[in-house]
Amino acid sequence: MKRIIPCLDILGERVVKGVNFSNVKSTGDPVQLSCRYENEGADEIVWLDIDATLSSREMMFQRLSDTASSLFIPLTAGGGIKSIQDISRALGSGADKVALNTAAVRNPDIIGKASDEFGSQCIVVSIDAAWNSHLNMYEVYIGSGSIPTGIDAIEWSRRVQELGAGEILLTSRDADGTLNGYDRRLVSQISSSLKVPVIASGGCGSIDDFITVLGECGADAALAASVFHFGILRIDKVKRALLSKGIEVRI
């Protein structure tokens, strides 16, 4: 069963969306948007405090709790998570899963420790990747997509799976917010390399993009933001189209 997952990038008190991880603009209130998406048929919500790591502050746990308490579907929370204690607090604030990005790269041991403590099903490793033509590879970025690491994204995805990650949230930095479609090569290469589920993110602009990434590219879930926030598509319409193409989704 494939999943459709809206993403809420949180900056301050608002949901925002940009292009290529920059030039963000406000799109709404996180509680209102998450409830709307649940009513439209979203399978899960991803909630990311995108400024926490760059600002060296903790996640906005109260804002997370406000959103989680309004939902019945699963919620994944990320941003500013640095320790096992942060993970515990996010789960205690209502998150069903916690996404690790910068902390996982800087301290890979946290993946295994968190998986042992809370179960691998709770631990999502978020990988932001962009094509590096000089290195001839997809390079991992941290710090909300602002800091290149020199790490090969495909090798990193295999390693975090071995360390205990239960799921990968894979975002194309190149495609993010462009509405030009997912990075099919990136998604296909990583999906075919792993046994754990892969959530494809970055660039969705049409129903055909959902069909392609969940069908041809092998992603287990498709995450999108702009197409939902700006009213280009509704989740229920996307799901009906997927069903018409033989892609199983929950209605």
Q: What is the pLDDT of residue 13?
A: 78
Catalytic residue annotation: 9, 128
CATH number of the 3-244 domain: 3.20.20.70
Which tens digit of pLDDT belongs to each residue from 147-178? 999 999 999 999 999 999 999 999 999 999 89
Cβ distance 176 to 21 under 8 Å?
yes
Q: Which whole number is the average pLDDT over 217-225?
A: 97
Q: What is the pLDDT of residue 18?
A: 60
In this predicted structure, the answer to whether residue 20 has a pLDDT above a threshold of 70 is: no
Q: What is the reported pTM?
A: 0.95
Task: Determine the straight-line distance between the first and last CA of the chain, rounded to whole angstroms.
Answer: 11
Percent of the chain with pLDDT over 70: 96
Q: Which whole number is the average pLDDT over 203-220?
A: 98
Q: Which residues pair with 108 in a beta bridge?
A: none
CA separation, residue 200 to residues 36, 41, 53, 155, 183 (Å)? 22, 18, 22, 17, 9
Burial of residue 244 (number of CB atoms within 10 Å: 0-12, 13-18, 19+) = exposed
